[in-house]
Structure 1
């Protein structure tokens, strides 16, 4: 049992050890900042086809509430304005402009989605508004040269797919690979990474690809086509609902390929119903944080901090959701950055400090995974570990992989 006091002290301790070079000069009246408050904005799909991912925004708000109860960051409370964009880029643009121009937020934080964040990236960069810790692993959110005000958080989709490619090459060099992917930059990033991991052999190893449009409700015909092409290895690049369909359909038609499931759908509690988990057994994924369903972490100090947070600020049925683990980590990273800012909460300094994170360890990151950023690297997390589903949780194997 971890007491509330111990939890808050430990969370505060994770912000310690801050060291950085000379920072930009302080703005007199930074947007979204008062003597007592830091106001930040976010869009989330609380409705629409990806509404299940709205729990990330709920987790962010809960984490900041916890920080506020302990006094905030350097004496200021965090006020998160999180609004629904329905996973619709037009709505994302509308809501983001309102957050910036009407609400006057200091920056945009952890808004979800590849094409939705892509729709606001230019606007935020032209106006020099930080777009921090985008909830997408698309490579485009690590382009510090062209978009210096935009930064992702989770590992790049290309990095993840390259890890899968190297694993396939090492364990099944004669594999016939079929890929299901969303026909946008989210899905295409995985194809780039997979080909990179497979190297020169990718042209003969990838025997079929099948795409689906954003917002699709079924992918049954694509699964049948991949099987018909003779694929014996299946990479599933899909959001949770469609990933579950892909797993079920594969099982139902008696197709038994080696399956790889991407990180966006690895939450067991929300991707697969309890009755369907046997169908997922043996599937391989790549992870960078602790699986809350894995008994190995029960006595882990970081996991106990997480469960104490869940007990007080969330509901028990959300504890096992990997998306909640994600929100917990992103929010902690944001608090770390704000602490580094000290009294200078200008947008320029917030972005400067976000790009100067040195080996930050967080309670729910895997041992050895650290958050590091610099002016030349806007990918905070760059290592992952492979895991196989054993029927109840993801079982880690191998070493940390990545850059």
Structure 2
């Protein structure tokens, strides 16, 4: 008789375990600091002031998107508490703000903090603390290094990939070009230069006739443009952030230099760069993109663009829709929401990184058709495809095929 009781007891226990496993609502919830039954606390660092302040609107767009998610019931019933601080694009300030977010505010992770030098300054700290530094807003190649930095992941196509695509274009269309490069004197700028040289291969030393760097603390890069024109270059590779990109476009026009002008993707915003520089000065510039351009009429009936416009109208009416940074902030915020939904009730830092490293063919409304986010445990570069575009009139015209410029970490 006791044996039967024991067997029945074991059977009941097994049934209870099965019921728990089959009913997610009863399953064990797992949280790290920053997550509860009602809240997910997310940190963010943006240059709301300083030389890269044109990017500050990304943080504002993300806040507006999370307001939308919260108004619709949150993520698996939890509201997002988005805490965003200004670092003025100054790495020492970034370190201060990251420590505040992790140690005082006790966020679950830091999301989409902006800039290569600022993120470089906190990368070791975030990885030592084992706090995700997720979808950083910079395309430096080094964010795709899961072996050394398993808590850091990029988002956009990396700068070396982008440069290799430009190199292919130059080799095909201007094989005897003389190339002058202006670049920001940090990892961001040097990554682009390395990608171009790698893409040009053996021809790089003979084709690149000048390399000029600038500091973000400089008020202007006008003298660099004059110097580069004097080299007789017929291709200008402009590796700058928005403020300096607009300056360069204006100055080139002013001194009547007419090279093939290639502008890096991070400064291809019509609202933040092309319009301030003057549409008449921006004609014929070549860049690349992976996002839909809100000012391009070809997307007027596109479902993804309609959803973007509805979001802006309701949650961010003061946003300048032709500023490409809004579409960037909107799309990366959607990517994060996808990851957090997949985390279910396991809102641990380890599971957030696990889900972020398991994105498979994710299509988002703001991405160009054919471009999908994809990650794995060994590939922390969600987006690695781009399409070339040329500035004509008051808008960018896409041309050519979607190109993959994969470069390993």
TM range (shorter): over 0.9
Corresponding residue SS for 2:148: coil
In the alignment, what sits opposite 1:55?
57
Residues 1:99 and 2:101 aligned together: yes
Give the distance between the partners of 1:274 and 1:86, measured in 2 at CA. 21
Distance 1:101 1:27, change over 3 A: farther
Deviation at 1:199, TM superposition (A): 1.6
Contact 2:250 2:277 in 1 (8 A): no
Q: Which residue of structure 2 lines up, in the alignment, with residue 262 of structure 1?
A: 264
Q: Which residue of 1 aligns with 2:215?
A: 213
Structure-1 separation of matches of 2:161 and 2:317: 33
Could you report, residue by residue, the CA deviation over 1:47-76 in whole angstroms, capped at 9, with x for unpaired residues? 112112110000011101101111111111
Q: Which residue of structure 2 aligns with residue 366 of structure 1?
A: 368
The equivalent of 1:45 in structure 2 is: 47
The answer as to whether partners of 2:30 and 2:345 remain within 8 angstroms in 1 is no
Supply the distance in 1 between the matched residues of 2:260 and 2:280 (Cα, whole angstroms).
15
2:252 aligned partner: 250
Over aligned residue pairs, what C-alpha RMSD do you find? Answer: 1.3
Matching of residue 73 in structure 1 with residue 72 in structure 2: no
Displacement after TM superposition at 1:150 (Å): 0.1
**In the alignment, what sits opposite 2:242?**
240
Question: Is 1:330 paired with 2:332?
Answer: yes
1:343 to 345, 358, 368: 345
1:197 corresponds to = 199
The DSSP-based 3-state class of the residue aligned with 2:135 is strand
Per the alignment, in what secondary structure is the counterpart of residue 126 of structure 1? helix
Instruction: State whether residues 27 and 346 of structure 1, in contact with CA within 8 Å, keep that contact through their aligned partners in structure 2.
Output: no
Structure showing greater radius of gyration is 2
Q: Say if 2:34 is the partner of 1:35.
A: no
Comparing 386-395 with 211-220, which one deviates more in the overlay? 211-220
Instruction: Choose from 282, 293, 296 the match for 1:294.
Output: 296
Q: Are the aligned partners of 2:29 and 2:345 in contact in 1 as well (CA < 8 Å)? A: no
Give deviations 1:210-257, integer Å, cap 9, x for gaps. 110122221111111111111000010001111111111111111100
Equivalent of residue 378 in structure 1, options 364, 377, 380: 380
Report the 3-state secondary structure (helix = DSSP H, G, I; strand = E; otherwise coil) of the residue aligned with 1:366: coil
Query: Shift in Å at residue 362 of structure 1?
Result: 0.4
The equivalent of 2:310 in structure 1 is: 308
**C-alpha distance in structure 1 between counterparts of 2:217 and 2:304, whole Å:** 36
Cα distance, 1:347 vs. partner?
0.3
| Alignment TM-score, normalising by the size of structure 1 | 0.92
Point out 4+ residue stretches in structure 1 off by more than 3 angstroms: 25-29
1:119 has 2:101 as partner: no
CA shift for structure 1 position 31: 1.0
> Are the equivalent residues in 2 in contact too, given 1:26–1:346 (CA < 8 A)?
no
List gaps (5 residues or longer) in structure 1: 1-24
Further displaced range: 75-84 or 272-281: 272-281
